[in-house]
């Protein structure tokens, strides 16, 4: 079992986090219209998975805003914001913020996503949510960059994720 911290307190994270070179695990998640979206829906595109605990937290909101900004300069790339938030909350946040370049996806109906991607918070007050992570996937679903953020309150390494897209 791996762990991250929240305010310096260890939080257990279940299952194996993917590594660079792995094939991205298949997933199905719920979109803003309550439909199902899968990894295969983004075939032939690069994907950035910005996995967050909740859009209703300061750091998650900041990373969603930043990835929305970066998305405008990324060709053939889908920027996916994944959390356990209900699609209504994700849509409300993006609408209020004017964020229209990211695709929000919820794992509320699909907890297996948290296990397949090794981001299931297992202990502490945030158990059941996703750990903060960024995974960059190429057009053939190979992982180019994988960061499990060690402190939940910290933002991810945007520069490394973007460098992986440009390599």
So which residues are the catalytic ones? 60
Tell me phi and psi for residue 69, to 5 degrees: -65, -45
Give the span between the Cα atoms of 57 and 102, in whole angstroms. 17
SS3 22: coil
Nearest one of 156, 106, 142 to 4, comparing CA atoms: 156
SS3 60: helix
Are the CB atoms for 114 and 108 separated by under 8 Å? no
- Spacing of C-alpha 137 from chain mean position: 12
- Residues 6 or more apart in contact with residue 98 via CB below 8 angstroms: none
């Amino acid at each position: 079992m791996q762990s991250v911290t929240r305010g310096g307190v260890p939080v257990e994270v279940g299952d194996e986090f993917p590594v660079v070179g792995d094939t991205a695990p298949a997933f199905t998640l719920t979109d803003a219209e309550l439909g199902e979206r899968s990894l295969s829906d983004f075939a032939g595109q690069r994907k950035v998975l910005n996995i967050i605990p909740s859009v209703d937290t300061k750091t998650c909101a900041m990373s969603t805003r930043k990835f929305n900004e970066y998305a405008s300069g990324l060709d053939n790339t889908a920027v996916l914001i994944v959390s356990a938030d209900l699609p209504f909350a994700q849509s409300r946040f993006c609408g209020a913020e004017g964020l229209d370049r990211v695709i929000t996806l919820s794992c509320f109906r699909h907890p297996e996503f948290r296990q397949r991607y090794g981001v299931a918070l297992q202990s502490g007050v945030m158990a059941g949510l996703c750990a903060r992570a960024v995974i960059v996937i190429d057009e053939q679903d190979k992982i180019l960059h994988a960061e499990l953020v060690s402190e939940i309150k910290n933002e991810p390494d945007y520069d490394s994720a973007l460098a992986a897209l440009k390599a």
